[in-house]
């Protein structure tokens, strides 16, 4: 085992290069999401990985500068933006517990009177987007501005093809939104909310962009420009929910293997946080049966093993 103890710039680059080389020879990389046609054509063996240090230094391997569909990764940033505005009141409308069910399940909502288990399943993300929409008038636009600022990339944008594809195949999300609205847990008109949510999920960004944008969680709530978005306690809350709920109904296995707060998306990306040290993003479109990148989880597993960095 190679344990990295140095704090010099690019200290992690040899680790990333080793991980990429190991994965190159690994068979069985899963399959791209096929229920969103715009994602189905992605090569499941594509791989990129980036690390961003606290000062904004970022480096990577493979296709680490290639934009991809962020999908559910964006739920982390929408959660942070809303939590910064309304604080603990948010948790009256969405829980903080793992779901144990698929990310688009309707079953649990009826048992729990329209209150989603956590902000990272689709129902919970719809609630958070709805509340941010009420407070800003343009939740997706607010998110895009934030990601552009934190990544330093003003070219980040929505992928209109992906957004249109999700709208066409969005009946399950519409059902979730209408069901929660029947319990009074949605403020905005459902078509408005769905438009905001699908645009949010369609944002295309690279591993470098997303690793940099996640940096505020490693800096305990401090943004790239030095201003504070979240209190230290709130940053801890977001990281905790990422650890326990960030990889759908495989969060326990992810915590066991990787040992870091993380959030995956069906575009094949996963972000992860080493508090006080760095942030990571890995991308490989081949997914397992639970919707997480096969190579992405393996890469983060190897990273924490080789560096000795985890929250445990």
Enumerate the active-site residues: 72, 75, 197, 248, 266
Comparing C-alpha atoms, which of 81, 72, 110 is closest to residue 245?
Answer: 72
């Amino acid at each position: 085992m190679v344990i990295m103890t140095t704090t010099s710039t690019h200290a992690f680059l040899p680790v990333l290069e080793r991980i990429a080389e190991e994965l190159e020879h690994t068979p069985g990389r899963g399959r791209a999401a096929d229920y969103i046609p715009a994602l189905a054509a992605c090569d499941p063996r594509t791989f990129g990985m980036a690390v961003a240090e606290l000062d904004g230094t970022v480096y990577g391997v493979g296709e680490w500068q290639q934009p991809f569909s962020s999908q559910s990764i964006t739920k982390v940033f929408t959660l942070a933006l809303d939590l910064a505005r309304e604080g603990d009141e948010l948790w009256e409308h969405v829980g903080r517990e793992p779901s144990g069910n698929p990310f688009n399940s309707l079953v649990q909502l009826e048992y729990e009177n329209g209150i989603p288990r956590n902000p990272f399943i689709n129902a919970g993300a719809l609630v958070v987007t709805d509340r941010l929409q009420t407070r800003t008038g343009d939740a997706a636009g607010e998110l895009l501005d934030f990601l552009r600022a934190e990544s330093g990339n003003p070219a980040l944008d929505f992928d209109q093809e992906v957004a249109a594809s999700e709208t066409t195949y969005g009946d399950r999300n519409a059902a979730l939104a209408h069901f929660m609205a029947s319990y009074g847990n949605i403020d905005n008109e459902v078509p408005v909310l769905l438009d905001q949510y699908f645009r949010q999920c369609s944002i295309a960004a690279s591993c470098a962009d997303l690793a940099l944008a996640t940096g505020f969680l490693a800096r305990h709530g401090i943004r790239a420009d030095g201003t504070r978005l979240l209190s230290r306690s709130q940053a801890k809350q977001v990281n905790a929910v990422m650890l326990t709920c960030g990889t759908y109904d495989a969060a326990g296995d992810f915590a066991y293997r990787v040992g870091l707060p993380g959030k995956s998306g069906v575009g094949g990306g996963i972000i992860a946080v080493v508090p006080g040290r760095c942030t990571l993003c890995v991308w490989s479109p081949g997914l397992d049966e639970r919707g997480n990148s096969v190579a992405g989880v393996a890469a983060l597993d190897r990273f924490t093993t080789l560096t000795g960095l985890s929250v445990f």
